[in-house]
Amino acid sequence: MRNKILDILKNQQREEFVSGESISQALSITRAAVWKQIQGLKEAGYEIEGQTKKGYRLVKIPCAIDLWALQQELRTQALGRQLFLFEELPSTNDRIKDMARQGGEHGTVVIAKRQTIGHGRMQRVWESPDGGLWLSLLLKPRLSLGDAAKLTLSAGVALAQTLQDLYRLEVRIKWPNDIVIQGRKIAGILGEVAGEWNTVQTLILGIGVNANFSGQTLSPKIPAITLQDILGHEVNLNHLTAELLFNLEKEVQSLEQGDVQGLIQRWTSFAVGINRPVRIEKAGISYGGIFKGIRDNGELVLDQEGQEITFSSGEVSLRAEEQYSPE
């Protein structure tokens, strides 16, 4: 009912106001029921103007995630066409893994307004208060096992590109997959495998973006930043999600067409510290060298006085020797 009222208000947007009477007739509900639905929509963040003689007019859709608003913005073929929104979940990745086990479709998206036990790699905690974008995707790409693992790189590129395009920000990717603005982490990506690798390839991508809350909400020890901190206002999470899914779908398709080099190039163009001195921490040992880039499989290549050594993302962390400053 709620979405039908929104459809009517949207279709009539050019003619401005829609009378309560015509909504009640179109949907065979009472005027009081229409009024009640409109109040519910206002509480959900929809700005709806009401005038006694004229009726109702949709002025603005909410910044908060909302299924109807997000569906209006979606311009993907598969990603997000199956969409589930929860007020709260332990972790969207865990929920979508359950869906994967039950045969969930390629492109299914799960979003939660907050997570109680969001996690990062190696079971690290991912703090997920209200106002963030906490999203997981189920992918069954037409890719070999090796190439499917590159999808976390694709997600990094899609996310960096989206934030850069929408908000004109200088966005960087810190190997392996931190999205960084002004030297602070604004988003993280967690790629996981669900189900049997040997039979159906199902990959889970978890994406967390610090958006409409203050970075001060997070533990002080975390060097994080949020879109609200940077822009000074809230962003429309429906628009952000739709653009992210659109860019990610393009990246998935380009990998399926075999363009690994394109992906590596795009990833490298966002990377922090390329051709600069960095330190890599691995099992308590620190390796200094020049960050030469990544191999096709995502491994980091470090040049130590002419000798190249590689590191895989599971085992190390990268620290730029100097504070990164954009050229």
Residues contributing to the site for ligand BT5 (CB under 6 A): 91-93, 115, 118-121, 124-128, 134-136, 178, 185, 188-190, 206-208, 210, 218, 222, 224
**What string of DSSP letters covers 169-218?**
--EEEETTTEEEETTEEEEEEEEEEES-SSSS-EEEEEEEE--SS-GGGS
Phi, psi for 128 (deg, rounded to 5)? -135, 70
Cα–Cα distance measured from residue 311 to residue 243, given in angstroms and rounded to the nearest whole number: 32
* Cross-strand pairs, 51: 55
CB 35, min distance to ligand BT5, A: 37
CB 112, min distance to ligand BT5, A: 8
**Of residues 185 and 266, the one with the C-beta less far from ligand BT5:** 185
Q: What is the DSSP letter of 292?
A: E
**Of residues 69 and 110, the one with the C-beta less far from ligand BT5:** 110
- Token pair recorded at residue 288: 């200094």
- What are the Cα distances from residue 314, in Å, to 177, 245, 300, 318? 11, 26, 11, 12
**Of residues 211 and 252, the one with the C-beta less far from ligand BT5:** 211
**Of residues 4 and 121, the one with the C-beta less far from ligand BT5:** 121
Would residue 246 be called left, alpha or beta, if left means φ above 0 and alpha means ψ between -120 and 50 degrees? alpha
* Cross-strand pairs, 291: 302
Burial of 273 (0-12, 13-18, 19+ CB in 10 A): buried
Residues contacting residue 287 through CB under 8 Å, at least 6 positions apart: 279, 280, 281, 302, 304, 309, 311
CB 208, min distance to ligand BT5, A: 3
CB 179, min distance to ligand BT5, A: 9
CB 250, min distance to ligand BT5, A: 21
- Token pair recorded at residue 84: 């589930």
Q: Which residue is nearest to ligand BT5 (CB)?
A: 188
**Of residues 6 and 96, the one with the C-beta less far from ligand BT5:** 96
Residues contacting residue 25 through CB under 8 Å, at least 6 positions apart: none
- What are the Cα distances from residue 38, in Å, to 42, 56, 96? 6, 9, 32
CB 119, min distance to ligand BT5, A: 4
**Of residues 195 and 208, the one with the C-beta less far from ligand BT5:** 208
CB 104, min distance to ligand BT5, A: 15
CB 128, min distance to ligand BT5, A: 6
